[in-house]
Structure 1
Amino acid sequence: MEPKNDLLSRRQWLGKLTVPAMAVTAAALPATALAAPHQKNNDNLRGARIFNVRDHGAKGDGKTPDTKAIQAAIDLCNKENGGTVLIPAGDFVCGTIELRSNVTLHVSVQGRLLGSTRREDYSAGKGVPPGNGNIVFIYAVNAENITIEGRGTIDGSGQAFYNGKGDNTGPGQRGVGGNFDRPHLIVFYQCTNFLVQDVLLTRSAYHCFRILKCKQIQLHGIRIYNRVNKNNDGFHFNDSQYVHISNCDIQCQDDACALFGSNQFVTITNCSFSTRWSIFRFGSGEAQNIVVNNCLIYDTYGCPVKISSGKARIENLSFSNIIMRNVTGPIGIAFTNTSNRNNATDNANDTTSFVRNISFNGIRATVVEKPVNHPDIAFGVNVFDGELNSCITLNGVGNAFLENISFTDVHVTYAGGGTKEQALKRDVPQVAAEYFGVWATQPFGPPAYGLYARNVKNLTLHNVRFEYEKADARPAVIFDNVHDASVTGLSAKGSVDAELIRIINSKDILIAATRVLTNAAAFLQVEGEACEGIVVNGGDLRKALKPLVFERGAGKNAVVMG
């Protein structure tokens, strides 16, 4: 159906004049000016017109399928060199829609694009690769200059597609038997220069917003509420560059801001996040030059910052001014330079892989004892054994080292409750799985309550404070095969059943200005024949019953007390 033109036609224009005035005007104007006065104005507005979907036959009654009408408006807008496709007030039910270059989709404040509840109304996006499914509600491929804006709603009706099954892409699952036959809310693939702002994105049947191999991305003021199905991600990036996210509010069921593959030049600021699983999740690839600051994270039980990687080139990540409230496993970084993250038996010396130059500054966190189900997620979520009594985990595996990791002005309060049995564990699995995957094979979880670090080079802790709410029998900090570390201004609660700091087969460690906040069996326990170059310089160690303990072949000349 052809659209109604917003401009006055010649007849409408002339009809608004009085007869004498019309006669005078007609006599005064040349014949060429009277030929088609609106055509020239149309040309002037080419690329800036408004295409109301109702003018193309859309009903917006919440029942009639409006897919064809909306697609017709988008196609004409694109053909006319772009403009704005207007979704006015109403509920516009539709299936798969393709956005095109130079089109702004404006969803009015009382307007709602409502996903059909019928699977047959959806299709795979033309040109969208099949990884993690490619059935989709709204998509764009190889497009540029796209905008989605307005204070209205894009609602995927995702609860209609719930069958109790996820996509089974978690650790070790490899997607076998997974549910991929359901629509993502939005997928952009190989698009350039797009803006999404102000809209509410909600109730997707699968991921909310997948951004694949795109460049020049602006995401601002978006609200995501996505908790009706499994794998309800928020933002999900793969191999994208020049990404800028600000002032967004994300509440979802799965990863809130997944950054898989080679995402580079990314800034995320002034956002709030909550999810059952993780917030910032990184996989393999080249994740580089990424800054996260001024963010709030709450009620998140699968690790707010999670890097679980093999064969990766991850560097230059900065996390600053972040508050974490009610989380588990606040930070988990695991790395192996083998092809299999869950098996360190492949000892190929691959020096091209690395995880390095990661900083955490101005972090305040409260860590709960175990995950808690969100009351607005209708289906229960299993709790893994390794999620209990969690800590910050830095886990290099095999011959792989994490490099240049720093924590500055970090204050974490843990629930506590760790046991002596946990503290005695030393056979930490040689796997680079997700943080709870590492501890799941341990009968008692992590052996430290604050920070566990293995295979790390150049580790810095400055002005860090670890404490607990109820008694915890584990050390606050464990270093295992750590080289070149500086610990200055550490304040931590201790236990009468354990040392405050345990150092295993590590070298070149400086510990200065430490405060032992509560009674501890010992300040420092050194273990292993490979320990050397450990210097302790000052601090308040009065509440430690012993200053030093040597175990498991550690020599007394490994430590110098200043």
Structure 2
Amino acid sequence: MKSIKLIIALALIATFSWSAKAIQDEKKWAEIYQIVDQIQEPVFPDKTFNIVDFGAKADGTTLNTKAIDQAIVACTEAGGGTVLVPAGTFLTGAIHLKNNVNLHVSEGATLKFSTNPKDYLPLVQTRWEGNDVFNYSPLIYANGQNNIAITGKGTVDGQGASDNWWTWKGSSHYGWKEGMPSQLDEGRGRPALDKWESEEAPLFERQAGDGFYLRPQFISFIYCTSVKIEGIKITNSPFWVVHPILSKDIIFRGVHIESLGPNSDGFDPESCKNVLVEDCIFDTGDDCIAIKSGRNSDGRKPNIPTENMLIRNCKMLEGHGGVVIGSEISAGARNIFAENCEMSSPDLDRAIRLKTNAHRGGVTDGIYVRNIAVGQVKDAVIRINCMYDTKSEGIGDYIPMVRNVYISGIKADMTGKTPAKFGLRLEGIDGENSIENIFISDCNFNGVKKVAQISNVKNLRLEHVIINGEEIKAE
């Protein structure tokens, strides 16, 4: 087999021994297994509250928000149990979960969510792309609750489309036309969030909702503990699909997400601790999984990273990235693990991606990825970018740090398919130690146009990395 040397701009090569690395690697994997084994799954009393008994009608047109809420209140006041959505199609507005409630969407049941923004009032506390705000309620929401779940083999359908929520993106690709309002309008939406954050406006002054055009998340909970989402199918989200915030002990298992609208990230834990994602299918309009911890000062001030997260046995189809960290990562991330996943689609941009910049800051430390099968990506198999979105945001004063990344066993074969642009793309910040201690081993990529594009990386080690049939070495 041929061997080629990879010339890396401004990179320093580590002397870290591979035997020591392997020992540390296995120790860390053992630690995360122990952590997720200790996550307490929600447990519910054997009591059932059928929403039909509270007046819900499965005709697909009657708004059942009140009936579902009454069932949830009765359930929590009785000490908990299961709120049952039986077979049929039920239209609803916002659903707010409460302590000890399992919302069970039965096989053959569909919860369809209204596309009328007024059905998601009053405003609730949340984060929108990492910034604190009061906005429309997520379609399913909880605040400060314990021991809650969404389970079943049924479907929850946000009905997001190019004639309702998606136009607020401000993109003609999703139905927006000149003269229509959007989240990009001056003084509204994203510009308002940026202003509030830069001025450090108090949370109670950050009132969005009507006239701001910030789409609600599909499922989001904040300040919650012991949460499980299992078995359901989620379709057509207005915005991010599942977004836990400042919560801990989360299980996301056996869920199928099919949502190709704008910003349809699949699973976005933000400043969360102890998270297990397993046996899920992601077919999304944005990142399949994107790990967050706040945007700029709204993340830096509380300084709560996302930590202790395991992703395993998942399938990633369409999306901007398979497993992604960032870009709203200002409080950092640590102890993030992914293994035994499949990623492939002509519309999947990257398999593994870390994205941040010097406005975000934050330390991402301890990323472990192994045994990933990649069928096809467009941009790069592995990408670490500390210069993300600098064209629009410029260079800031908060240098991010990405360090101690261990990647092994990624197999990517794009032979006979549209090739990826790069095998590896690693871009640090000139003059700063923004990326260091990157260990990539036992990887094989075929069918990429260019081997790598690497700059401003300290301590990069490549061992048994084969790209287009040739072993590459860092130099």
- TM-score w.r.t. the length of structure 2 is 0.72
- Partner SS state of residue 320, structure 2: coil
Q: 1:148 is aligned with what amino acid?
A: I
What is the distance in 1 between the residues matched to 2:446 and 2:122? Answer: 46
What is the distance in 2 between the residues matched to 1:389 and 1:369? Answer: 14
- Partner SS state of residue 282, structure 2: strand
1:427-460 superposed Cα distances (whole Å, 9 cap, x missing partner): xxxxxxxxxxxxxxxxxxxxxx112222222211
What is the distance in 2 between the residues matched to 1:342 and 1:115? Answer: 35
Q: Relative contact order (alpha carbons < 8 A, sep ≥ 6): 1 or 2 greater?
A: 2
Deviation at 1:330, TM superposition (A): 1.5
* 2:462 corresponds to: 461
What is the distance in 2 between the residues matched to 1:460 and 1:342? Answer: 31
Name the % identity: 29
1:296 aligns with 2:342: yes
* 1:210 corresponds to: 243
* 2:268 corresponds to: 236
Q: Report the RMSD for the aligned CA atoms in angstroms.
A: 3.1
1:216-272 superposed Cα distances (whole Å, 9 cap, x missing partner): 001111111112x21112111211110001100111111111101221000000000
Instruction: State whether residues 344 and 398 of structure 1, in contact with CA within 8 Å, keep that contact through their aligned partners in structure 2.
Output: no
* 1:364 corresponds to: 411
Deviation at 1:74, TM superposition (A): 0.2
* 2:223 corresponds to: 190
Larger radius of gyration: 1
Pick aligned residue for 1:265 from 303, 308, 311: 308
* 1:97 corresponds to: 95
* 1:175 corresponds to: 190
Change (3 A) 1:368 1:326: farther
Change (3 A) 1:164 1:466: same
Summarize the alignment of residues 323-472 of structure 1 with structure 2, pairs less than 5 Å apart.
323-328=373-378, 329-335=380-386, 343-344=394-395, 353-366=400-413, 389-401=421-433, 402-416=435-449, 449-467=450-468
Instruction: State whether residues 114 and 158 of structure 2, in contact with CA within 8 Å, keep that contact through their aligned partners in structure 1.
Output: yes
- TM-score w.r.t. the length of structure 1 is 0.61
Instruction: State whether residues 226 and 250 of structure 2, in contact with CA within 8 Å, keep that contact through their aligned partners in structure 1.
Output: yes
Task: Give the ranges of 4+ consecutive aligned residues of structure 1 lying more than 6 Å apart after TM superposition.
Answer: 167-170, 368-371
1:292-330 superposed Cα distances (whole Å, 9 cap, x missing partner): 000001114332222122322111101100011110222
Change (3 A) 1:163 1:52: closer
With 326-335 and 85-94 compared, the bigger mean Cα shift is at: 326-335
Q: 2:80 is aligned with what amino acid?
A: G
Instruction: State whether residues 91 and 113 of structure 1, in contact with CA within 8 Å, keep that contact through their aligned partners in structure 2.
Output: yes
Change (3 A) 1:388 1:242: closer
* 1:121 corresponds to: 119
1:491 aligns with 2:471: yes
- Partner SS state of residue 69, structure 2: helix
Gaps of 5+ in 1: 1-45, 372-386, 417-448, 469-489, 493-500, 504-508, 510-562
- Partner SS state of residue 139, structure 2: strand
1:78 aligns with 2:76: yes
Change (3 A) 1:342 1:388: farther
- Partner SS state of residue 406, structure 2: strand
What is the distance in 1 between the residues matched to 2:122 and 2:266? Answer: 20
Instruction: State whether residues 352 and 381 of structure 2, in contact with CA within 8 Å, keep that contact through their aligned partners in structure 1.
Output: yes
Gaps of 5+ in 2: 1-43, 172-182, 194-211, 294-304
Q: 1:142 is aligned with what amino acid?
A: G
Change (3 A) 1:177 1:265: same
Instruction: State whether residues 117 and 136 of structure 2, in contact with CA within 8 Å, keep that contact through their aligned partners in structure 1.
Output: no
Q: 1:103 is aligned with what amino acid?
A: V
Summarize the alignment of residues 219-230 of structure 1 with structure 2, pairs less than 5 Å apart.
219-227=252-260, 229-230=261-262
Instruction: State whether residues 224 and 246 of structure 2, in contact with CA within 8 Å, keep that contact through their aligned partners in structure 1.
Output: yes
What is the distance in 2 between the residues matched to 1:175 and 1:185? Answer: 19
Change (3 A) 1:130 1:276: closer
What is the distance in 1 between the residues matched to 2:396 and 2:268? Answer: 31
Instruction: State whether residues 135 and 182 of structure 1, in contact with CA within 8 Å, keep that contact through their aligned partners in structure 2.
Output: no
What is the distance in 2 between the residues matched to 1:369 and 1:189? Answer: 45
- Partner SS state of residue 279, structure 1: strand
Instruction: State whether residues 124 and 136 of structure 1, in contact with CA within 8 Å, keep that contact through their aligned partners in structure 2.
Output: no
- Partner SS state of residue 151, structure 1: coil
Deviation at 1:359, TM superposition (A): 1.1
Q: 1:491 is aligned with what amino acid?
A: E
Q: 2:363 is aligned with what amino acid?
A: R
Deviation at 1:115, TM superposition (A): 0.7
Deviation at 1:407, TM superposition (A): 1.1
Aligned residue-pair number: 374
What is the distance in 1 between the residues matched to 2:169 and 2:101? Answer: 34
1:157 aligns with 2:138: no
